Amino acid sequence: MDAVGKVAVIGGGAAGFFAALSAAHHHPETSVVLFEKTGKLLSKVKVSGGGRCNVTHACFSPSAFPKHYPRGGRQLKKAFGTFSAKDTIDWFTERGVPLKTEDDGRMFPVANTSQAVIDCLLGEARSAGIDIRMKAPIQSIQPLDGGGFDLHGEPFDRVIVATGGSPKATGFDWLVALGHTISAPVPSLFTFNMPGETITERMGLVVKNAIIRIQGTKLSHEGPVLITHWGMSGPAVLKLSAWGARELAERDYGFTIQVNWIGVTNEAEVLAELQEALPGMLKKKMANACPFDLPKNFWIHALEKAGIDPDTPWAELGKKPRNRLINGLLNDTYTVAGKTTFKEEFVTCGGVTLSEVDFHTMESRVVRGLHFAGEILDVDGITGGFNFQAAWTTGFIAGRLGRKA
């Protein structure tokens, strides 16, 4: 392998920092320069997980972890064999940032603040002697005839691009100029807007175990749903948006969803559950006695949508309104017209085409000496720490600059 005298890392986010630290660790003789176009470092780390930083996910199966990536899972399976979620946990723990696991598998710093992760990465960068340059945008990369690259008049032996995703294809023009192909970017991980739907009046409610399907597609996901003042959010919606990113973009974010609010698909099973609970509810008003695990205010919404007065005693419920109620709980429909993306946690589907990158080294197959890490690639995961794990893993491998573990 050629000696590496100077390495440029473009991008001061999670993938960029990890790539820079990996390069400094694997090549201690090398000078590492990290370029960040803004005046802020690790800005996405700071805001993720509500300011706590969802570092990774407690999934340690080599075959299961890649299944959480709508795009790039097959390629990442190889990469996770080199640097896995367990390696991430060990890396941060060894540096004074132990992680804890929450009920849904998400992992956060025990300190419960993203600042612990930021301070750790900044401290490691200082110790490694990494030259961090703020407000230093890189507009182009010029390959040199004798090997290496020119970045605005400064020569480098290797370059690692970790600039994150771009909402517009033009954000990748500088890589297209080098000969790379770009998968067109579209948003991933977004919420559904439902203007005119009365369910938004119940904003703030969470239904724990719903199944959402997009009519006319095979797209479906199960999990908690959050009612918002603009429509629906929560893990089930966000995961569905990730898996359907391209198809929903083609529909211009106009479609109909079908929601099963109780997570049981067999109508006979639902009827049996209702019949079992009924004797103890006959004298009660329907508003005050819900046989299913639903928030009271949502239950009232379901009753009203089925045309049932919430003050009706269970004993007076007829067969037809009962069937309307059950059908509404199992097959509720809503019209979606638009999306809302949380910009501070923006994730894109799209980026550098994966066939043009060797995931054993993260090196470009088009331009020798050019490496990639993070969301600049056409790789994205569902919510829950998977996007950060892809950043740590690809950053670690890119920073090896081809050197084996």
Return d(Cα 74, Cα 68) in angstroms, integer.
11
Residue 341 is predicted with a pLDDT of 78
Return d(Cα 390, Cα 146) in angstroms, integer.
33
> Is 60 exceeded by the pLDDT of residue 171?
yes
User: Whole-model pTM?
Assistant: 0.90
Mean pLDDT of 23-34: 97
- 320-325 long-range Cβ contacts below 8 angstroms, 24+ apart: 322/274
Least confident of 55-64, 83-92, 235-244, 345-354: 345-354
Cβ(113)–Cβ(55) below 8 Å: no
Residue 4 is predicted with a pLDDT of 84
Query: Quick one: tokens of 47?
Result: 């805001």
> Is 60 exceeded by the pLDDT of residue 275?
yes
Residue 402 is predicted with a pLDDT of 87
211 forms beta bridges with: 222, 260
Residue 1 is predicted with a pLDDT of 47
Q: Which tens digit of pLDDT belongs to each residue from 280-293?
A: 999 999 999 999 99
Q: How much is the CA Rg of the chain, to the nearest whole Å? A: 25
Which CATH number applies to 6-187+343-399?
Answer: 3.50.50.60
What percent of the chain lies above the pLDDT cut of 90?
A: 92
Return d(Cα 218, Cα 205) in angstroms, integer.
27
> Is 80 exceeded by the pLDDT of residue 38?
yes
Residue 345 is predicted with a pLDDT of 53
Work out the mean pLDDT of the chain and round it to a whole number.
Answer: 95
> Is 60 exceeded by the pLDDT of residue 404?
no
Cβ neighbourhood burial of 316 (10 Å; 0-12, 13-18, 19+): exposed
Listed in order, strand segments (DSSP E) in 148-303 are 149-151, 154-156, 158-161, 182-188, 191-193, 206-214, 220-227, 231-233, 254-260
Cβ neighbourhood burial of 375 (10 Å; 0-12, 13-18, 19+): buried
Mean pLDDT of 199-203: 95
Q: Which tens digit of pLDDT belongs to each residue from 336-388?
A: 999 997 555 568 899 999 999 999 999 999 999 999 999 999 999 998 999 99
CATH 3.50.50.60 domain span(s) along the chain: 6-187+343-399
- Cβ-count burial 146-181 (b if 16+ within 10 Å, e if not): eebbebeeeebbbbbbbbbbbeeeebbebbeebebe
How far from the centroid of its chain's Cα atoms is residue 318's Cα? 45
Dihedral sign for Cα atoms in the order 306, 309, 310, 313: negative
Mean pLDDT of 328-332: 97
Residue 375 is predicted with a pLDDT of 95
Return d(Cα 206, Cα 268) in angstroms, integer.
25
Mean pLDDT of 44-68: 95
Cβ(16)–Cβ(26) below 8 Å: no
Residue 2 is predicted with a pLDDT of 59
Residue 3 is predicted with a pLDDT of 72
Return d(Cα 376, Cα 386) in angstroms, integer.
15
Residue 167 is predicted with a pLDDT of 87
Helices (H), 244-317: 245-250, 267-277, 296-305
